[in-house]
């Protein structure tokens, strides 16, 4: 899907934006412009399971369990609970939206960069979110704090189909320590603690199955959770293909369409977000037709690299 990039190169930024006939086309062009003008070369990492099955885009009922199934992976996320004064507890709800995805990406990228389960928070997370254009203040800080709290408390299960057998990450937390202290004193309420520790099982799977992603691409679509999911999925799938692969609309609907009541509505939105994701992945060779998508072998957004395996402490 290189037409957006060709259009920008031929007409320039303003010319390409003027040529956009729809708002969705304009969003794809703006994402491509942001990506193409980004000169930083940072790399992030995500466990491959998250590239195949993702969190919800919108808030669910606080007690609701999230489940999504794909060809190879089933993800179940169970909400956690928070203690209330006295003996009562309340549901916190599963994490959702773009902020939860960005926090997850930060935790996993830092874990592989440092080869440690212990991840620095506070200024380090603030600085990283700032690089992505996410201001840490006001409503933005509140959103980040809420999603970090949800991620800290939830439990997840990745059932991964492997050949004729079945393997998976079963009934585990993402982190062993909460990312916020609920009873922190002061007018700000909950505060970041200094570090978070990834669970040993999750860290082990991350080191075995990391997917490298371009930070420039993430920056350009950081507020679009659906485009982020599609970009991560394409980054995982395309470079390992040896020939063209057809994906039906029903399969795409099962993986990406949980928020939509009807397949027809999903198709429209999916194609719009696919255009945005492809705008930050110029090498992606993807075609859509009446049956679904045709994926063709494409260069990875980041050249594969060897991740050294260090001994896990603690």
pLDDT one-digit tens code per residue, 133-149:
777 677 777 888 889 88
Residue 2: predicted pLDDT: 53
Please tell me which residue, 136 or 153, carries the higher pLDDT value. Answer: 153
**Where are the alpha helices (H) located in 123-248, listed in sequence order?**
123-131, 138-153, 200-208, 215-220, 225-237
Residue 139: predicted pLDDT: 76
The pLDDT of 256-278, averaged and rounded, is 94
Residue 262: predicted pLDDT: 93
Distance CA 53, CA 51 (A): 6
Nearby residues of 190 by Cβ (< 8 Å), 6 or more positions away: 145, 149, 180, 181, 182, 184
* 74 CB neighbour count, 10 Å cutoff: 18
Tokens of 25: 């086309």
Structure-token match 């991560």, residue found: 232
Q: How far is CA 184 from the centre of its chain?
A: 29
Tokens of 301: 């957004």
Asked if 147 contacts 154 with a C-beta cutoff of 8 angstroms, the reply is no
The rounded radius of gyration (Å) of the Cα atoms in the chain is: 20
Distance CA 19, CA 12 (A): 10
Asked if 266 contacts 253 with a C-beta cutoff of 8 angstroms, the reply is yes
The region of weakest confidence among 178-187, 213-222, 242-251 is 178-187
pLDDT band at 310 (very low <50, low <70, confident <90, very high): very low
| Strands, sheet with 155-162, edge to edge from the N-terminal-most edge strand | 66-69, 73-78, 155-162, 165-173
Helix (H) or strand (E) holding 286: strand 285-289
Which DSSP symbol is given to 313? Answer: P
The region of weakest confidence among 30-39, 42-51, 190-199 is 190-199
Highest mean pLDDT among 145-159, 214-228, 298-312: 214-228
pLDDT band at 314 (very low <50, low <70, confident <90, very high): very low
pLDDT tens readout for residues 3-45: 788 888 778 778 888 877 788 888 988 998 989 888 887 899 9
Query: Helix crossing, 200-208 with 97-114: angle to 10°?
Result: 80
Tokens of 63: 């007690």
Distance CA 35, CA 29 (A): 10
Whether residue 188 is predicted with pLDDT greater than 80 in this model: the reply is no
The region of weakest confidence among 23-27, 183-187, 277-281, 290-294 is 183-187
What are the sequence ranges of the domains in the chain?
A: 1-37, 46-210
Half-sphere exposure of 105 (CA within 13 A, CB side): 29
Q: What is the pTM of this model?
A: 0.87
Whether residue 211 is predicted with pLDDT greater than 60 in this model: the reply is yes
Residue 4: predicted pLDDT: 83
For residues 195-219, b (16+ Cβ closer than 10 Å) or e, as one string? bbbbbeebbebbbebbbbbbbbbbb
Tokens of 91: 């549901």
For residues 289-304, b (16+ Cβ closer than 10 Å) or e, as one string? eeebbebeebebbbee
């Amino acid at each position: 899907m290189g037409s957006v990039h060709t259009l920008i190169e031929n007409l320039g930024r303003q010319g390409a934006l003027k040529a956009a006939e729809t708002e969705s086309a304009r969003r794809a062009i703006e994402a491509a412009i942001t990506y193409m003008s980004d000169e930083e070369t940072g790399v992030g990492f995500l466990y491959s399971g998250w590239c195949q099955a993702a969190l919800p885009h919108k808030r669910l009922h606080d007690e609701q369990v999230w489940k999504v199934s794909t060809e190879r992976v089933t993800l179940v996320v169970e909400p956690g609970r928070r203690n209330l004064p006295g003996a009562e507890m309340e549901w916190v709800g599963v994490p959702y939206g773009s902020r939860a995805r960005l926090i997850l990406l930060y935790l996993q990228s830092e874990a592989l960069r440092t080869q440690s389960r212990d991840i620095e928070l506070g200024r380090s997370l603030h600085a990283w979110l700032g690089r992505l254009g996410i201001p840490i203040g006001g409503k933005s800080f509140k959103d980040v704090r809420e999603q970090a709290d949800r991620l800290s408390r939830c439990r997840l299960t990745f059932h991964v189909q492997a050949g004729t057998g079945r393997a998976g990450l079963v009934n585990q937390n993402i982190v062993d320590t909460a990312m916020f202290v609920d009873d922190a004193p002061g007018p700000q309420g909950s505060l970041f603690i200094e570090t978070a520790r990834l669970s040993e099982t999750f860290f082990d799977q991350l080191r075995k199955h990391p997917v490298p992603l371009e930070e420039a691409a993430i920056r350009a679509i950081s507020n679009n959770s659906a485009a982020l999911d599609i970009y991560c999925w394409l980054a995982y799938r395309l470079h390992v293909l040896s020939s063209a692969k057809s994906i039906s609309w029903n399969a795409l609907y099962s993986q990406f369409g949980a928020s939509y009541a009807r397949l027809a509505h999903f198709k429209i939105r999916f194609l719009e977000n696919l255009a945005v994701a492809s705008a930050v992945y110029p090498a992606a060779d993807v075609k859509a037709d009446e049956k679904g998508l045709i994926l063709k072998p494409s260069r990875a957004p980041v050249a594969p690299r060897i991740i050294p395996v260090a001994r896990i402490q603690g």
